[in-house]
């Protein structure tokens, strides 16, 4: 019997999506579901939801466990799915925004790059290392499915310290963006054929088209480029379509995310740019506040008596588990060590590429060389990722300064003295959420 462990299962909505996908598959319905979270209130809600999914699907023998003891949750697991947010909304995420704001450094999401992404990585990596140490002892053969941001930083750190753990980083940006573009073009997502490669949140579609009834490939890029030139451009995607005009390829992550991975779209005091690109500073804080306000009603609904609808999501976790378990061929986009997969990116970086999945494991596809200007854009992020991982692995404070110094948006807004002071203030403000840096 398979055992699937969800760490951070108190993220109930996401856990509901993953469990709905898993338990809808007949090959996986005999699995034991093990739920863990440090928030026992949210954990109890997810426990109820997991059992209600089983009831909806008629799984009378479903076994669901919930525990605040992480090692027990992990014991003998075959698959471990990470979905936690270390430090939560308050105090950690709010600190990631409020301290930089006091320096005049504004962010939109702050979970992947920028000063917010750096510090989210620094407080998350020690927890990841603790989980990996537990896995080595209680489930050494398990496959780790890593959903936690900052994706590339987290996966890179795991690779450095626990290279023998089977792991892949998972995001929904590639498949979700492809569906968004299909809807914009009036196409069926099932007809799309594309190749995407890069790093998480800064990957580009190298090919984007559809398969015609006669089997021929039709390139859809001319239609996307026509929208970029002549409109109408979706209001929430002005950044990505402007970038398409400049670099000739469409990036996978949303406009509000991508706007802070560079020095081009967010400028101190430039309200005109915010209006031009339809960006809201502190966007992630607004989203968190809305989700918190909705939580109590959501909990009431999820724990109520009304039928719980089980829908299929576009997440990869269930498909990976199915393919590794049954041998059925699958294709995902995963975050894995580069090691020559993309020739003009560093070998030690973590890249996002198509991967075949079957009983032999998760097998990344070698892409070769990508356009140099796209690789150069990605390198801006890789510089920051490398220094953040170095700080987490060595415990040396100097690497945090260097990561912030190399971050494109931070460097465009602050002087070196301000960057050093900002790092010091954030380390102090995060307190025990961070280890001691020398």
Tokens encoding 101 = 């704001």
Which residues does residue 10 pair with via DSSP β-bridges, in sequence order?
Answer: none
The yes-or-no answer on residue 164 being catalytic is: no
User: Which residue among the candidates 36, 172, 300, 402 is catalytic per the annotation?
Assistant: 172
* Residues paired with residue 357 on neighbouring β-strands, in sequence order: 330, 362
Q: Within 13 Å of residue 354, how many CA atoms lie on the same side as its CB?
A: 16
Angle at 124 between CA 121 and CA 125, to 5 degrees: 80
Cis peptide before 150 (omega within 30 of 0): yes
Give, to the nearest 10 degrees, the angle between helix 372-394 and helix 114-138: 60
- Please tell me whether 409 is known to bind a ligand: no
Strand partners, 330: 357
Q: Treating both helix axes as pointing N-terminal to C-terminal, what angle do 173-185 and 221-230 enclose, rounded to 10 degrees?
A: 70
Distance CA 410, CA 140 (A): 40
Listed in sequence order, the DSSP H helices in 79-235 are 94-102, 114-138, 151-161, 173-185, 221-230
Q: Annotated binding residue at 171?
A: yes
The Cα 321–Cα 24 span in angstroms is 13
CA 155 to chain CA centroid, Å, is 10
What length does the chain have? 438
Please state the residue numbers annotated as binding site for Mn(2+): 171, 201
Annotated binding site for substrate: 149
Enzyme catalytic residues: 172
Annotated binding-site members: 149, 171, 201
């Amino acid at each position: 019997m398979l055992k699937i462990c969800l760490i951070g299962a108190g993220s109930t909505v996401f856990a509901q999506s993953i469990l709905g996908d898993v338990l809808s598959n007949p090959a996986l319905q005999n699995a034991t579901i093990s739920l863990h979270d440090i928030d026992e209130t949210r954990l109890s809600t997810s426990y109820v939801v997991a059992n209600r999914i089983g009831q909806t699907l008629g799984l009378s023998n479903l076994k669901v466990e919930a525990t605040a003891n992480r090692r027990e949750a992990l014991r003998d697991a075959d698959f471990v799915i990470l979905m936690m947010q270390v430090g939560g909304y308050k105090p950690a995420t709010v600190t990631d925004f409020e301290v930089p704001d006091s320096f005049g450094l504004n962010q939109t999401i702050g979970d992947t790059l920028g000063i917010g992404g750096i510090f989210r990585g620094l407080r998350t990596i020690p927890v990841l290392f603790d989980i990996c140490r537990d896995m080595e002892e209680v489930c050494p053969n398990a496959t780790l499915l890593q959903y936690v941001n900052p994706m590339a930083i987290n996966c890179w750190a795991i690779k450095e310290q626990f290279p023998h753990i089977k792991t892949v980083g998972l995001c929904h940006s590639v498949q979700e963006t492809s569906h968004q573009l299909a809807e914009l073009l009036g196409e069926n997502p099932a007809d799309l054929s594309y190749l995407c490669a890069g790093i998480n949140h800064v990957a580009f579609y190298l090919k984007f088209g559809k398969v015609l009834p006669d089997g021929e490939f039709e390139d859809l890029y001319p239609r996307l480029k026509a929208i970029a030139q002549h409109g109408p451009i979706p209001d929430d995607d002005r950044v990505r379509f402007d970038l398409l005009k400049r670099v000739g390829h469409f990036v996978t992550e949303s406009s509000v995310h991508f706007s802070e991975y560079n020095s081009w779209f967010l400028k101190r005091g430039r309200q005109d740019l915010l209006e031009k690109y339809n960006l809201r500073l502190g966007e992630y804080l607004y989203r968190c506040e809305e989700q918190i306000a909705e939580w109590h009603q959501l909990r009431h609904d999820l724990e109520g008596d009304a039928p719980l609808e089980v829908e299929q999501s576009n997440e990869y976790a269930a498909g990976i588990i199915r393919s590794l378990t049954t041998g059925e061929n699958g294709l995902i986009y995963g975050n894995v060590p580069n090691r020559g997969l993309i020739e003009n990116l560093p070998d030690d970086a973590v890249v996002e590429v198509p991967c075949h999945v079957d009983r032999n494991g998760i097998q990344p596809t070698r892409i070769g060389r990508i356009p140099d200007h796209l690789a150069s854009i990605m390198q801006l992020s890789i510089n920051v990722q490398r220094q953040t991982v170095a700080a987490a692995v060595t415990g040396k404070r100097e690497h945090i300064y260097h990561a912030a110094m190399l971050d494109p948006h931070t460097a465009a807004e602050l002087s070196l003295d301000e960057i050093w002071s900002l790092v010091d203030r954030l380390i102090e403000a995060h307190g025990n959420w961070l280890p001691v840096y020398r």
